[in-house]
């Protein structure tokens, strides 16, 4: 019997390496795109593009089926690893707290709502886009 994914060292390593790459990518976006009028656009961009990409990845992987080894590796590497490191709830929370501490409550509320509503909508768009991708004649 094959052990679950979280007990397979190579899959754990895959998630760790791709997660580090995702976190580095997010850090580069944040450094290259500083806040605009208090809005943390780097984090917002990472979270929204990450939601879109996650929708695509999960839909494509689901089309292959949960037992397909390539789909499992792709879901873990891209979805859990890279996009897990790329998107960030902790930075959203910290940046929201900073906006509130600076007296910018309306901006903080807009930032949180924009991230959450935008993330759900873009995740849905990603799922729809994932359904449009051709997977080959055998799918």
Distance CA 35, CA 42 (A): 7
Q: Give the residue extent of every domain in the chain.
A: 7-24+41-132
pTM of the entire predicted model: 0.90
Interval 40-65: pLDDT, tens: 999 999 999 999 999 999 999 999 98
Could you give the count of Cα atoms lying within 13 Å of 62 in the half-sphere of its Cβ? 11
Checking if the pLDDT of 132 tops 70, the result is yes
Distance CA 29, CA 32 (A): 5
Checking if the pLDDT of 13 tops 80, the result is yes
Q: DSSP H helical segments within 1-139, as ranges?
A: 9-32, 41-64, 69-74, 83-86, 89-101, 105-132
Integer CA distances (angstroms), 17 to 46, 61, 91, in order: 18, 20, 21
Checking if the pLDDT of 139 tops 80, the result is no
Residue, of 122 and 6, whose pLDDT is higher: 122
- Confidence class for position 67, pLDDT limits 50, 70, 90: confident
Q: What angle do CA 112, 117, 121 make, to 5 degrees?
A: 150
State the DSSP code for 78: I
């Amino acid at each position: 019997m094959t052990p679950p994914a979280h007990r397979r060292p190579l899959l754990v390593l895959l998630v760790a390496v791709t997660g580090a790459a995702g976190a580095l990518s997010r850090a580069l976006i944040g450094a290259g795109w500083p806040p605009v009028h208090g809005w943390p656009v780097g984090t917002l961009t990472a979270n929204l593009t990450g939601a879109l990409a996650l929708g695509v990845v999960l839909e494509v992987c689901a089309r292959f089926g949960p037992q397909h080894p390539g789909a499992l590796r792709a879901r873990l590497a891209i979805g859990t690893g890279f996009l897990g490191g790329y998107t960030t709830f902790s930075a959203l929370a910290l940046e929201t707290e900073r906006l509130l501490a600076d007296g910018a409550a309306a901006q903080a509320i807009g930032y949180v709502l924009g991230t959450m509503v935008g993330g759900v909508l873009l995740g849905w768009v990603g799922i729809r886009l994932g359904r449009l991708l051709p997977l080959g004649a055998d799918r």
